[in-house]
Structure 1
Amino acid sequence: MPTQRDHITIELPWPDNRLHAHNKGHWRVKSDPVKQARRSAYLIALSAKPDSHKPFERAKITYVFHMPNARNRDIANLIQSCKPYLDGIVDAGIIKDDNWKCLCEIEADAEVNSEFPCVEMTFVNLSHGSSDTTSTRRE
């Protein structure tokens, strides 16, 4: 019987500028990009998900932002702009939910990649029975 993978990496397009937290427009302006981002993430996550995959109950998420240029960017805003992606990934069943009980560790890194700007999101299973159960939290 095959065992469940302990991690899944999903590569998604660079987030639409209308998804950034600093973009204060009417909610309808954001509505279409949010729906499109969520749907794209759902479809890409489905293709990355093994057939026997059960949603991770507890997970660590690592974002790697491959930025289109070296402009100074706020990492918290980049993470927030990926919220529709995260919702699509939950819809696809990669992780059980995106609340604090399920996503108990978050890391982020960034680098410039002007040829292929994108976001890599890696989910590591921290549920019981996983091969990776270490925690870096302070006690």
Structure 2
Amino acid sequence: MKTIVMPFPPSSLSGHAKGHWRAKAAETRQWRDHAWMAALEAGARKARLGDGDIVLRVRFVPPNHRSDRTNFPNRMKPIFDGIADALKVNDRRFLPKYEFAESEKPGRVEITIGALA
């Protein structure tokens, strides 16, 4: 299993976030690229994934208590896309399992990649 640690994703990555589509597209692309690089640096491409579902254990460690944790998973799409790019798999194979930790500074998200047995 490989673990990727990234900064806590901003609310602007949520599907319902407001803003000009060009700015949103640029930020989404930036996070996707960052996740791709983080996955490669973590050695994710060497993970043994098989052909079935790929479990992603996602642990949210928010930077403060102000956010609504039910919205955190909505921020993950560009990150999942970047990880899928690095693994050279279709992200429909991902089976995310979410955990929510107490806040810490700086916030982060920890994604552990492992195959379903």
1:27 maps to which residue?
A: 21
More helix by share: 2
Asked whether the 8 Å contact 1:18–1:30 carries over to 2, the reply is: yes
SS in 2 for 1:112: coil
1:66 maps to which residue?
A: 61
Aligned pairs for 1:30-109 (under 5 A) are: 30-49=24-43, 52-53=46-47, 56-57=50-51, 58-75=53-70, 77-93=71-87, 96-99=89-92, 102-103=93-94, 105-109=95-99
User: Structure 2 CA distance, aligned partners of 1:11 and 1:56?
Assistant: 23
TM-score, scaled relative to structure 2:
0.84
From 94, 114, 117, give the equivalent of 2:107.
117
Shift of 1:122: 1.3
From 11, 17, 22, give the equivalent of 2:11.
17
Mark the runs of 5 or more structure 1 residues left unpaired by the alignment.
1-6, 127-132, 134-139
User: Structure 2 CA distance, aligned partners of 1:123 and 1:89?
Assistant: 9
**Count of residue correspondences:** 116
Instruction: Considering Cα pairs closer than 8 Å and 6+ residues apart, tell me whether 1 or 2 has the greater RCO.
Output: 2
SS in 1 for 2:105: coil
Q: Which has the larger radius of gyration?
A: 1
User: Structure 2 CA distance, aligned partners of 1:40 and 1:72?
Assistant: 23
1:6-43 alpha-carbon deviations (Å, 9 max, x no partner): x2211111113321233122311201111110111111
User: Structure 1 CA distance, aligned partners of 2:76 and 2:2?
Assistant: 17
TM-score, scaled relative to structure 1:
0.72
Structure-2 change in CA distance of 1:124 and 1:28 (3 Å)? same
Amino acid at match of 2:91: D
Identity %: 30
RMSD: 2.1
